[in-house]
Amino acid sequence: MATDAQWPFFCAREAAALPAVELAATHAEHCRALGERALSREDYLHQAQSLVACLRRRWSQHSVSDGSDVDSLVQRLGLQQAQRSDMRAPHLASALPSLQDLARLAADHEPAVGQDGPDTLYGSFSEELNVRRPEQRYAALAAMGLMGFVDVDAVKRSPVHRYMRSCTCVQQRAALRAIAWAPVSICRVEAIDEQGLSLTDLLQIAAPYRPQHAVAHSCVGGLLGPLQCGDVLVARLVPREGGGFTACMAVSAGAAPQQGLVRMWLDCLWLMARLSDRRVTAEAVLRYAWVPLVRRLFEWSYQRQAGMDEPKGLR
């Protein structure tokens, strides 16, 4: 567990890798789910260790690979159930705080987030941020805002959670709750016009959290310049009262990867989470455990634009 003094430096070191799982502690969940069909403890640990090794290899890859090795291990461990989706109704917001307000809120309750938020999410890109350029200044603010919804550790809650303890404004509380409940989305920008952004979801999340029409936006951060069609976009897409979505704390990083690659990374995170809790959904991962996925995406983008074959620090 990271201490207060270690966060978010702890996150920055670990963000590019799949999170570790204490496999010995997950055998009880395996037995609860499978009952009489459960593996013995020794067999379970052997199979689970093999699965984690396969997932780490897939996580480090730059292209979609054959998943037969993972599929066979998933079946042996009883994890082969189709991925569950969270079909519960999203929280709606009537008005949303500005990007600057969200970044300020995070920094007020966790001052280190101003420097370490971009380091944690953007990896190598953070070394080249130039806040004199509007799109990169917005990217830095977006990183601060996004990290404001991340718990410091198992004891110290996120800056937003701490703020809401004392916030008495009903409208502000509703807006922050709607943002927190919206899964972090990774999309490809198909069109940009006066109506907003036309997006294609690369993660195939549940329909209630996936916009069907143009998405409103403002202050979109860009790590490789202003937003363009074909770019990948990371944001919390927040549904609004009266219909429609708003891209909150949005940032882009050049051309989008193929849909299957991003989905493969999400599946790796989801399967790691399922070892501990078979009920977890992809949307839950994208609400509470999304940092490794976003960091992986931005490291992929950096390596791609730099012409590098192998990613740094992802194995």
Please tell me the total count of domains within the chain: 1
Q: Which residues, at least 6 apart from 315, have a Cβ–Cβ distance to it below 8 Å? A: 17, 56, 60
Mean pLDDT throughout 212-237? 94
d(CA 128, CA 306): 12
Q: What is the arithmetic mean of pLDDT over 258-286?
A: 91
State the pLDDT at residue 308.
Answer: 65
Model confidence pLDDT, tens digit, residues 42-91: 999 999 999 999 999 999 888 887 778 898 999 889 887 666 678 888 99
pLDDT average, residue stretch 133-141: 96
The answer, as to whether pTM is greater than 0.95, is: no
Give the HSE-up count for residue 104: Cα atoms under 13 Å, Cβ half-sphere: 5
Q: Between these two residues, 267 and 155, which has the higher pLDDT value?
A: 267
> Is residue 1's pLDDT more than 80?
no
* Rounded alpha-carbon distances, angstroms, from residue 62 to 22, 122, 257, 268: 27, 17, 9, 14
- Whether the bond between 90 and the residue before it is cis, its omega within 30 degrees of 0, is no
Q: What is the C-alpha R_g of the chain? A: 19
d(CA 56, CA 36): 30
Q: Say how far apart CA 28 and CA 7 lie, in whole Å.
A: 30
Instruction: Give the residue with greater pLDDT, 20 vs 217.
Output: 217
Tell me how far apart the alpha carbons of residues 19 and 15 are, in angstroms, rounded to a whole number.
8
Q: What is the pLDDT of residue 201?
A: 96
Element (H, E) at 253: strand 245-255
Compute the mean pLDDT over every residue in the chain, rounded to the nearest whole number: 87
pLDDT at 3: 36
Q: What pLDDT band is residue 203 in, cutting at 50, 70 and 90?
A: very high
With a cut of 70, say whether residue 263 has pLDDT above it: yes
In this prediction, residue 4 carries a pLDDT of: 36
Strand partners of residue 231: 255
User: Residue 142: pLDDT above 90?
Assistant: yes
Name the residue range of residue 224's domain: 1-315
Least confident of 86-95, 187-196, 282-291: 86-95
Q: How far apart are CA 308 and CA 300, in angstroms?
A: 9
In degrees, to the nearest 5, what angle opens at C-alpha 224 toward C-alphas 221 and 229?
80
* Contact (CB, 8 A) for 262 and 286: no
- Whether residue 313 has pLDDT greater than 90: no
pLDDT digits (tens, 9 = 90+) for 158-189: 999 999 988 889 999 999 999 999 999 999 99
